Every structure is written in structure tokens, then in C-alpha cells.
A and B are shown apart, each in its own frame.
Chain A
Amino acid sequence: MSETSGPQAAHAVHPAPQGFVRRYLFSTDHKVIAKQYLAIALFWAVVGGLSAFLIRWQLAWPGEPVIGSGLLPEAFWDGDSWLAQSLQYGSIPAEFYNKLFTMHGTIMVFFVAMPLLLGALGNFLIPLMVGARDMAFPRLNMLSVWTLAVASVILLISFFVPGGAAASGWTAYPPLSAVPELSEVNWGQNLWLIAVALEFASFLMGGINFLTTTVNLRAPGLSLFRLPIMVWFQCIAAVLFMLSVGPLIAGAVMLLLDRLAGTSFFIPSGGGEPLLWQHLFWFFGHPEVYVIMIPGMAAALEILPVFSRKPLFGYRLIVYATFAAGFLSFIVWAHHMFQSGMDPRLAMPFSITTILISVPFALMVFAMIATLWGGVIRFPTPMLFALGVLGVFIMGGLSGIFNGSAPADIYIHDTYFVVAHFHYTLFAATFFGGFAAIYYWFPKMFGRMLNDTLGKIHFWWTFIAFNATFLPMHLVGLGGMMRRIANPLNYDFLQPLQPLNVWISISAFVLMLGQLVFVVNFFWSLVAGRRAEANPWQANTLEWSTASPPPHHNFDTIPTVYRGPYEYSPPGVAEDWLPQHRPLVGGPAATA
């Protein structure tokens, strides 16, 4: 396909728009939009982290005034400011605790993980990796990020309306979420539903762009099986999201009608069915966790070959395994409902599909390990975080077997064992995967390198503190501690677990503190980091064939692709890498 015909022609080289507003706020440039997603994700990560701080404070020292609250005068706490109303003289009442974990979960999943892993990574990388000038629909792209911004504002406002934010968990089970009198939350829950529905709309639009761009705007020679795994996985995630979210958007509208228009879709006293919501929610919810997991894994899968100087082991196998996992993710949803009162005869079929899903993920893990074998492995920060994804995800996958087994889940369901399990998977994707990606693609995004020493400190701090926090949480869960309880000390049988809870909380604070190292590194490197070359890691994929940062039109000439993305140390080549776009006549690598 030549430069002047075909779909690429629609994206002929335009000059970058001038003026701050068109250039940075209402930009249609995928690279700017990716940064906007990144900014939204990092903002919400701070809010999500602060809520986690308060959660852990309360669980370690229930009822104690939050550290620092004593600095505010008595008169402040007598007042009727939002803070004084939420915290009673500095300590966290149960009502507020329920809001905290509800918003923590909502924020982390919908407003941190997705904007970071799909919004920022997908937007930035897909056009660059397929050799396109921009997304297929740049204006739609702008609309999707602005829809997310509106959703963010609505979610933020929901904290401050009378009655406060939603408090029925990120899963919002009715009737608790359907009847304001039952949860004592009124507009907070309505706004929560609206914000989440808008978020869905935003990522639906984003997904359309991901798929269309990948299908239509690939550079000449870039056949599907020469696409980097990141592109594959972003597209698979987009498909999973599209196919699963529809029923839940319908469910969200029904729940809103129950709350506002007097319907009873989910309220039994009016003839409704609460379990219907759970089915709609988890039919979406399980694919959704893979929507987060898969791009997080993709970051690791891109990075491991680069720093092992080896081809990714079993590229096609990994793609097929992910298809299989994606397919299976649509028939496992009821594993969240083993104890919900659905027909117990359904449990074992769902248990079988759930445990089966471990096979494709195991294949992915084995392929990652096989990639390391025989490599020449270096350990710069991106590699450390990529290995972190691998290690932490193995733990999360293994603990998932307990939850997936319906009879074991009788005991484990809704305990801290589950909380530990899903943090091992979600944190692996969101933060280990997210940081791996940021350290790796920061030079491409901003044209400067992050400091590697600070990066290593950040990695080890995060890795150790993460495990110190979440490993013992399994034990607390086995001890029987339920999730979503504001005061474990209310229960005699949980008293012996309290020292462990204190340990977990202190480790969590250390974990959060360690993120300051990243914040400092990020902002310092942004202005004073070493300038990055086009290809600082000697990597093969197309994004490294253009300048760092890339020009507005991405590529001065659209590259032609000759081979797959992971030709490291190929025979017949002097260097230990062979970029996708470098012509080479003859030789085995050229035909890969």
C-alpha cells in the first residue's frame, strides 16, 4: 500500500495544531490523548490510594482518630464541613468506611486500571506499533477521553452530595443499592451509576478505535501475526469489553429506574429479582477483570524479550491462549455467585470452567518463563517490573484456584482471602504492569529517560511492601475475617488476627510511601531526565523506529514491515536484534 492511497492517505501529514487549547486540551492526537488518560489515572490513583490508607487505618486501629486529625482544632470537628461530617472527630464511622471501600474499588478498577492500561497504553501504542499516523477516528478518540473526564467529575461530585458517596460496594448489589432508605445513600448512588455508565461509554468508543485502527491502518507488510502482543491484547480486551458491557449498561439503567422511577426490577417486594443484577454484573465483571489483566500482561510480554534478547517464546500460542481465556471468561461469571442462592446444581459446571481458565493463563506464564531460558538477561527498571508482573501474577493465579473451587469457596467467599487474591491479580496488572510500561515507554512518550537508580529503589520498595501487605491477608482470610466490615474488633473470633491486621496496615503505608519515589522520579525526569534516543532499549517494534518523542504525524515515512516483532539474536545477523522495519535480503529471519 503506497503512501498516497489506501486508508493511510486519510492521515496525510498535517502540521501539529498551534495554541494550548487545541494542542493539549481538545487534541485529537492519540499521543496527547494517551497523556490525558495517564493524567486522569494518576489523579485517581492518588484518591484510590488515600481511600486505601483510610481503610487500612480503620482496620488496624478501629475507631482511633486518623493520624494528623488532631492537628485540626476541636472547633473544626464541631463544624459542618464535609470532612468534619465524614470523620467524627477524626475517626472513621462505619457509614464512611462503607463509602471508602466502595469508592476505592470503583476508582481503582474503572478510573485507574482502565485509563492507565487501556486509555494511556492502548492509545499511545496502537498507532505507533501498527505504523499509523493516528487512530482511525481521532475525534471519537477525543470524545472518549472527554467522556471519561465528565464521568470523573461526576464521580468526584458524588462524594459531596447530601448522604455522601455510594456505599454498597463496587458491585452495588440490590436491594441495598436500589432503595435509598436501605443504604442511607441517595444521590451518591445515582451519580455512581451515571459515572460508571459514562465510563463504559468512554471505553466503548475507545475500543472501536483500537479495533478499527488495528484492522485498517497497519503499515505495509504488517500482517496480523506480525503484530506486537500489546496490539493483540489491547484488541482482545476491547472485544471482551464490548461483548460484556452491554447487559450491564442495561442493568445500570434498570437500577437507576428502580431508584428514581419506582420500578422494581431488582426489588423483591415489588416482584423483582436481586440475583438478576448479580448475573448482569458478573457477566460483565469477569471479562472486565481480564480487560485489565490482559494489557498488564502484555506490557510484561513486550518487555521480557527485549531484556532477555530472545524471541518471545510461542508467540502464536500466547495469542491463541488469550483467545481461549477470553472466550472462557464469558462462561465463568457465576463463580462469584456460588453462595448467592442461585441453583446449587449450577456451581460445579461453573467451577469446572473457572478452574479450566487456569490452563491458558498457565501457558502464558510458562511461555514467559521459557522466554527467559537461554537469554542474555539484563535488569533495568522496566525488566524488574515486568518480572514483578510475572511473579505476582503467578501468586494471584494460584490463589484463584481456591476461590474457583465451589466447595472451598463456601468458606473463603467474602473473606480477606478473596481480597488478597484479587489484589495479587489486579495490582499485578495495574501497578506492576503499569509501572513496567511507564518505565519502558516513558522515553518514547516524553523524550527523556526515567532515572534507573530511583526506578530500582521504587521497584524493590514496591515489591517487598506489596508482598508484606497482601501475603498475610490470605492468612487473615483463612482465619475467617470477612471483607467489608468496618470493625474486626467487634468479633471475638477475629481478635487473635488483630496483630496481623496491624502489620498489614503498616506494610500498606510503607507501600504507599514508596510511591513518592516514583512521583519524584517522574516529575524530575520530565524536565531534567537524560534525553532519550529513538531506540534506547534496542527494541524491534515500530514505535522505536521513530523519534522520541515521535513527531505529530508519528512517522516521517510510513515504515514497511518485514518480520515479526520479536526477532532478537536471530542467526545470520551481527547484532542481537532485528527491527521489524529493517529490510534484509535472504536469511532465515527475513521470513519469520
Chain B
Amino acid sequence: MLRWLPESVSTFSGDIDALIRLIYYTVGAWFVLTFAVILIFLVRYRYRPGRRAVYLPGNTLAQSAWVLVPGLVVLLLDIGIDIYGERVWEAVKLHQPPAAVQVRVTGKQFAWEVLYPGPDGRFGTADDRQLNGELHVPVHQVVHVTLGAEDVIHSFFLPHLRLKQDALPGRQLTVWFEATVPGTYPLVCAELCGTGHTGMFGRLIVHTPEDYQAWVKAQWPSS
């Protein structure tokens, strides 16, 4: 089942996949167990003439232990999943390492606008550069993306990097990622944003260091 996940190409995508795998095996075990028990009971205790059912209301503590103890196991596994998950959430959404590259991405009906600050590293100056639907980043570098939206809510989704964050109008939010494999990946909108929602996508281009330098050179030739 997990082989359906797209290739995993960011520093944290492996952690998210590992969490999904952990949950998958945990719930998979429960699935097999409960269905096996149900099927065995259904076959074993099917109607046969002359047999009388066991009178077992399950009202005493000793009897309820049959469901309370598995319930306790569920609780413990839940806590385990939460503790494991906490670390992953922390790494993706709470703790942001310092940025090597900063961009602003703005969702609008129905495109992603990508704004680079240029060589001076500051937004709102003459060397800013806006691209439509193309996000160029260097591999193995921390990228900060400051998300905003012009009209409605959009959602910035990079499936191969396992990163998703809604972009809200009237608010700026910063997410980060570090890509680990050069290549071109889809950047899509994951929140319904109107009639053109299904056509709202762009590309993430992860460059090797040399390619990235060449791309920067081509964008800002004077510097």
C-alpha cells in the first residue's frame, strides 16, 4: 500500500513516511486481529439446533476486562503514535532552521505567484523578481516560503516533499523545506478555490548547486 506514495525528496518527507508506516502497521495488525476474531466467532458460534447461547451480559468488572484490556492497549498505542508524531510535527511545522533562500508565494485564482527578493535579499526592492507558477530552489538548502493569498484560501501542496500549508488571504505564514533530490516536481493547490481550482498548479524545480547558480545568473545578470 505504501508504495503508492510518491517519491520522497525532502529532509522531513522520510519522517512523515515513517510515521505513516508506523500507523499503517499498527492499524494493520488491529485490522487482521479484529477481522480474524470476528470471522472465527461467526463460524464457530453459528446457529446449530439444540445449542443455547452463553448468558454473558458483561456487566461485572471481571467480564468487562475482555474489552477494557484491549481498550487499554489501544490507548497505549495511541500515546505511542502521538509521541512519535509530536517530533515529526515539531520538525516540519514548528522548528524552522535558518533560511538559505527566501521566497514569497502568493495564491490567487488560479495560479501561484512566486516572488524572489533578488541579490539584496530584501523584498520590495527593485531587484525583486516575480515568476508565474515556477519555484526554483537549490538542493540541500533550507528554503523559507512565505505564503499568502490574494482572494480566497488556497493550499500550497508539494506532494513529493510531503509539505502542505493553506495560504490565507490577509495573512502571511512561513513554511520551510529542504529538498534532497534535484528534479522537477508538481506544486499544486489542495484547497478548493473556485471554478479554475483544477487547473491551478505550478512546478517546483530543485536544482543542483551549479544549476542553481546558473539560474540565478540568468535571472539577475547584472549582479
Contact = CB atoms under 8 A, between A and B. Distances in A.
Interface of A: 94-95, 97-98, 167-169, 173, 175-176, 182-184, 268-269, 273-275, 308-317, 339-341, 344-345, 347-348, 351-352, 355-356, 358-359, 362-363, 365-367, 369-370, 372-379, 387, 390-391, 394-395, 398-399, 401-402, 405-408, 410-415, 474-476, 478-480, 482, 484-487, 490-493, 566, 568-571, 576, 592
Given A378-B47, A401-B81, 5 more contacts: A314-B67, A315-B57, A375-B45, A407-B19, A487-B198
Contacts of A399: 27
B153 interface: yes
Given A313-B57, A341-B165, A490 B6 contact: no
B98 interface: no
Interface stretch (B112-120, B127-135, B137-145, B166-174): B166-174
B58 A391 contact: no
B16 A408 contact: yes
A228 to B, nearest CB: 14
B45 A376 contact: yes
B71 A402 contact: no
A441 to B, nearest CB: 22
A482 B157 contact: yes
B54 A374 contact: yes
Most chain A C-beta atoms within 10 Å of own C-beta, residue among B23, B63, B199: B23
Given A94-B198, A341-B173, A491-B188, A363 B67 contact: yes
Contact of A411 (B16, B46, B195, B196): B16
Interface of A is mostly: helix
Contacts of A407: 15-16, 19, 85, 88-89, 92-93
11 contacts: A94-B197, A97-B198, A175-B151, A175-B153, A182-B152, A315-B57, A340-B166, A363-B68, A377-B47, A408-B23, A484-B192
Contact of A475 (B4, B55, B195): B4
B94 interface: yes
A227 to B, nearest CB: 15
A380 to B, nearest CB: 11
Given A176-B152, A493-B159, A376 B55 contact: no
Nearest to A62: B198
A480 B27 contact: no
Contacts of B155: 339, 414
A412 B54 CA distance: 44
Contacts of B219: none
A413 B190 contact: yes
Contacts of A493: 6, 159-160, 185-186
B24 to A, nearest CB: 8
A490 B186 CA distance: 11
B186 A491 contact: yes
A415 B190 CA distance: 8
A407 B71 CA distance: 24
Nearest to B203: A492
B54 A569 contact: yes
B153 A274 contact: yes
B6 to A, nearest CB: 5
Contacts of B59: 314-316
B164 A339 contact: yes
Given A340-B166, A395-B31, A405-B23, A351 B85 contact: yes
B54 A411 contact: no
A366 B71 contact: yes
Contact of A372 (B27, B41, B88, B151): B41
Contacts of A487: 198-199
A398 B155 CA distance: 26
Contact of A394 (B35, B58, B71, B201): B35
Nearest to A403: B23
A413 B93 CA distance: 15
Interface string B13-41: 00110011001101100110011011001
